[in-house]
Amino acid sequence: MPGLLAIGAVTSIGLGAILVFAVDWQWEGADRPVVGLIMMAVGMLALVAATHMYGHDSHSGRTS
């Protein structure tokens, strides 16, 4: 499951960066750069969570 979370985190970071740096249109009632920054921050938190979960899975002593 950490792998799927990491993929979603990287996707969120990438889409947020596109919204902040590569798009020039505006939404009615929403601030596009702020939405992009929030997406990047959530993606970073998810990436940290995924790496933390992956570290616990590899050190738990389980054999597969």
Confidence (pLDDT) at 58: 58
Full-model pTM: 0.78
pLDDT values of the chain reduced to their tens digit, one per residue, 64 residues? 678 889 999 999 999 999 999 998 888 888 999 999 999 999 999 999 988 887 765 555 555 5
Task: Enumerate long-range contacts of 52-58, CB under 8 Å, 24 or more apart.
Answer: 53/1, 53/2, 53/5, 54/2, 54/3, 54/6, 57/2
